Structure 1
Amino acid sequence: MSATIPIKPSFPRAFGIGLAVSVLTAIVMVALLKAGVSPFPKPPSLAFAETLLGRTLPLPAGLLFHTAYVTFWSVVFVRYFPRKSLATALGLAAALWGVILVVFFPLVGWGVAGLAIGPKLIVASALPHLLFGLLLWGLDRYFAPVQSAGDGKAS
């Protein structure tokens, strides 16, 4: 009897899922910002990029930071998390949301949990992280490698 060794998902697959999650979440966030529904003074990734570089930047620069951040954490989830359940994906999303509230928001001058701007930022920042977790889990499942019946290897 041969033991089946779990295969680590390929980097290109993980990177592709990360890019897809990044693009889909960016579309939603930019649409809400343009519609005037978003309570953020500017996209958090743009605020972070401007703080980091110390100057005003155009929206595409913020989207690049968003893409790098989301893709990085998506690759970590897809390649290295041993259990890829919905609860695990939402747990990662919740942990990243916590980091946004206590690290990124104060760093960009919005205060802990964005309270210097207003309490609406707490919920407004939770929703994109929820979307991140759902998309990450769903796309990882959708693009899961198919195992051949006879050889135990993914194709």
Structure 2
Amino acid sequence: MAAVERHGRSWSRAVGIGILVSILTAVVMLALTAAGMSPFPKPPSLAFAETVLMRSLPLPVGLLFHTVYVTFWCVVYVRYFPKRDIWTALLLAAALWVIILVAFFPIVGWGFAGLSVSPRLIVASFVPHLLFGLLLWASDKYLPGNMSGT
């Protein structure tokens, strides 16, 4: 059982899940933005990249920041969380959502919970985090390599 568990928590599997989840969440959010349904002034990962690098940047740089961030948290979940079920994945997603509201939005200049832009940012930021939690759990549970069923 230990060999199976190690395989289910391998670095390559964890990074692969992270990249998959980052691509799927980015596709959904970019589609919503293209459809005019996003209340964000710009993609949050792009806003963060521009804040960190203190300059205007193209969207692919924001997508790279998004991929690194999402992959990091997926790796933490797959490699280090002792219990990997839907509730744990959703709890991680909820914790990250709270962090975006109280730390990330103020850092990029959108105010606490994005309220200096619009109260709609609260719900608009919840949706991708919920999607993140569901995709993370499903990817870990159903992609090959996790024979333990946790």
Question: TM > 0.5 between the two?
Answer: yes
Q: Is the 8 A contact 2:114 2:121 kept in 1?
A: yes
Corresponding position of 1:134: 134
Map 1:118-129 → 2, pairs under 5 A: 118-129=118-129
CA distance in 2, matches of 1:137, 1:92: 10
Of the structure 1 ranges 136-145 and 76-85, higher mean CA displacement relative to structure 2 is found in: 136-145
Map 1:1-155 → 2, pairs under 5 A: 4-5=1-2, 7-8=5-6, 9-145=9-145, 147=147
CA distance in 2, matches of 1:76, 1:144: 18
Flag the structure with larger Rg: 1
- Give the aligned residue type for 1:19: I
CA distance in 2, matches of 1:32, 1:143: 27
CA distance in 2, matches of 1:144, 1:102: 36
Q: Alpha-carbon deviation of 1:146?
A: 5.7
Aligned-residue sequence identity (percent) comes to: 66
5+ residue gaps in structure 1?
A: 148-152
What is the number of residues matched between the two proteins?
145
Moved over 3 A (4+): none
Is the partner of 1:87 in helix, strand or coil?
A: helix
Judging by fraction of residues, say which structure has more helix. 2
Q: Alpha-carbon deviation of 1:144?
A: 4.8
Q: Which gives a bigger RCO, structure 1 or 2 (Cα 8 Å, sep 6+)?
A: 2
Q: CA RMSD in A?
A: 1.4
